[in-house]
Amino acid sequence: MEQKSTDERGETKRSPLLRLSDSLNMVSEAVLFVMMTGMIAVTTLQVICRIFFDALIWSEELTTYLLVAASLLGAAVGFKRGAHIAVTFLADRLPPPLRKATALLVQTLAVVFFAVVAFYGAELMKSEAMQTTPAMGISMTWIYLMYPVIGGITLVHLIAGFGEIMGRRS
């Protein structure tokens, strides 16, 4: 599964899956920026309100949910960029065919893990639909929606990454 090919003019074409991954990453990075900015704004507002007014009862809860979602979305962006933490001490010393096989194994394990996250996140959404958040009073469905959505985004990035691994000359 090669990700890039050339057209009749010799220009590089990217696979539809890679283009989808790129588009999802662009949106993810923008949403991540908004989440981080929102956390800073809500926390700052909470400090000001605690000092000068009454505390905002919903601010800690919102910040916590934003932190969890931002962490997951940041992981998705990290997988897209290939910036996730990796211990490559042994893999770097393997011969090229084994190095590629190891990379494929790691990528496959990551796909399985995020498929489980997405699947059970959707199950959690359904099972907790009648629950509401303590301070904000919104359905937990909206909170747990982050798991299947971000798990799905990460899966797209990981599956698109298989083409890059297969295309490597190692």
| 144 pLDDT tier (thresholds 50, 70, 90) | very high
Provide the domain count of the chain: 1
pLDDT tens per residue, range 49-66:
999 999 899 999 999 999
Overall average pLDDT of the 38-59 stretch: 94
**CB of 156 closer than 8 Å to CB of 23:** no
Stated pTM of the model = 0.84
Strand, helix or coil at 12?
strand
**Res 10: pLDDT:** 52
Instruction: Quickly state the pLDDT bin for 2 (edges 50, 70, 90).
Output: very low
CA separation for the pair 47, 54 (Å, rounded): 10
Domain encompassing residue 11 = 4-167
What's the pLDDT at 11? Answer: 53
